[in-house]
Structure 1
Amino acid sequence: MNHTLKKNAVDDFTLWSNLKNDDQRSFSLLFERYYSDLVNYGNSLSPFSEKVQDCVQDVFADIWLYRNSLQEHVVVKAYLLSSVRKRIARLFERDHIFRKTTSTDVIEFLFDFSIENDLVEDEVTAERVLYLNKLLNELPSRQKEALYLRYHQGLSVDQIAELLNINYQSANNLVYRGLLTLRKEWKGGIPIIVLFSGVFQIS
């Protein structure tokens, strides 16, 4: 295996294939690439930060332990996010936070959206930005999570559906309804809002 791999120079598929073939360096690079994102996502599902970190580490431990039997073709980021969500659901079940269930749809999404500060150029803009934050954070939990996964994590609707254990139409409806609410209520003069790590089109 190539042990001169650079952190951001190799695509996920190559790293995944390499780790399946026992390359520890590729495994380490995937860990470094996604650990923070996975912890942040986990923290949006559970208020217990230390347990979230344990869950994320357990996911990676299982990946390395069962590396030779992993699927060949996966979207790595979506796979990791889904694995963390399922691990947290099992944690909740074990700790009796909710009754036994094979679904993760009972998990409440705790993430609070916040518009980038560099958009705030004056008092009027600041008030509009605060209002948009309020609109986002008042969306139903599942809509919030769908928008987070779509625009912050860059997942496709298909991937969101698989992660949330729902069909494509249901996932598409979550994204659409969230955006529809924002478009109906948003009265600001900023057509494009920079949210998350990408661009969120409101107009």
Structure 2
Amino acid sequence: MKQKDNSKTTGLDLGKGDEQTIWKNFVNDNQDALSQMYEAYSQKLYNYCRQFDSDDSLIWDVIQDLFYDLIRRKKHLAIPNSVTAYLLSSVRRKIIERLEQKKKAKEQSLDPDKHAFQVQISEENELIKRELSSEQKQRLEKACNELPVKQREAILLKFYEGLSYEEIAQVMDMTKNKSARALVYRGLQSLSIKLSDMDPKKGLAVLYTISMV
């Protein structure tokens, strides 16, 4: 499978119905559906995995391993309620497992809280240009990146990927939707305190333009 470029694009913009149609075609041996699914999701999966590790070779190896697993198991795959959440959850487990193996091999301890899910506010968005000064943008980025890693991950999945709380819970391997909701709420609450002297409407509106490094 061909590797994508490492830009911040997230692939094709599919609705839920389109996702499930491609999935149905894939499990029914439609070869075009496999290409469509890879085209739609590979860069999105890369961007997500990039938050766990910066090794491009490892990341693409994990993504291709995921798709090979799907090919091997397609006759036994049910149609997920959210294809995006299913794939993000699957690749999350795979890369964490791979990094654990890497850690044991090197006998080093990883500190995911220090580097994972760093937030970068897009400078190309018109809302940011109009509403925030350069200093305010930097403050918002800094405040986001001071949040605990799980809050950063939940906020990125909510505002960047547009996932529902149910989908976030699935991706982050939580048993209850309210746990995902609580993570996002606590993150936003912390941001409102850190940015208490900043117009809250501006700060929260700009959260919708958050993108991953």
Trace 1:1-203 onto structure 2 (pairs within 5 A): 11-97=18-104, 108=113, 110-118=116-124, 119-120=128-129, 125-166=133-174, 167-186=176-195, 187-189=197-199, 190=202, 192-193=205-206, 194-196=208-210
In structure 1, runs of 5+ residues without a counterpart are: 1-6, 99-105, 198-203
SS at match of 2:80: coil
Q: TM-score, normalised by structure 1?
A: 0.81
User: How far apart, in 1, do the equivalents of 2:67 and 2:35 lie?
Assistant: 10
Deviations 1:149-193 (A, max 9, x none): 111111111111122122323222111000111122223342521
2:3 matched residue in structure 1: none
Identity across matched positions, percent: 32
Residue 43 of structure 1: CA displacement?
Answer: 0.8
Q: In the alignment, residue 137 of structure 2 is paired with which amino acid?
A: V
2:108 matched residue in structure 1: none
Answer whether contact 1:152 1:195 (CA < 8 A) is retained: yes
SS at match of 1:11: helix
As a proportion of its length, which structure holds more helix? 2
RMSD between aligned alpha carbons? 2.4
Q: In the alignment, residue 75 of structure 1 is paired with which amino acid?
A: S
The 1:39/1:138 distance shift into structure 2, 3 A limit, reads: same
User: How far apart, in 2, do the equivalents of 1:162 and 1:147 lie?
Assistant: 14
The size of the alignment, in residue pairs, is 183
Q: TM-score, normalised by structure 2?
A: 0.77
Residue 8 of structure 1: CA displacement?
Answer: 6.2
Say which structure, 1 or 2, has more relative contact order (CA 8 Å, 6+ apart): 2
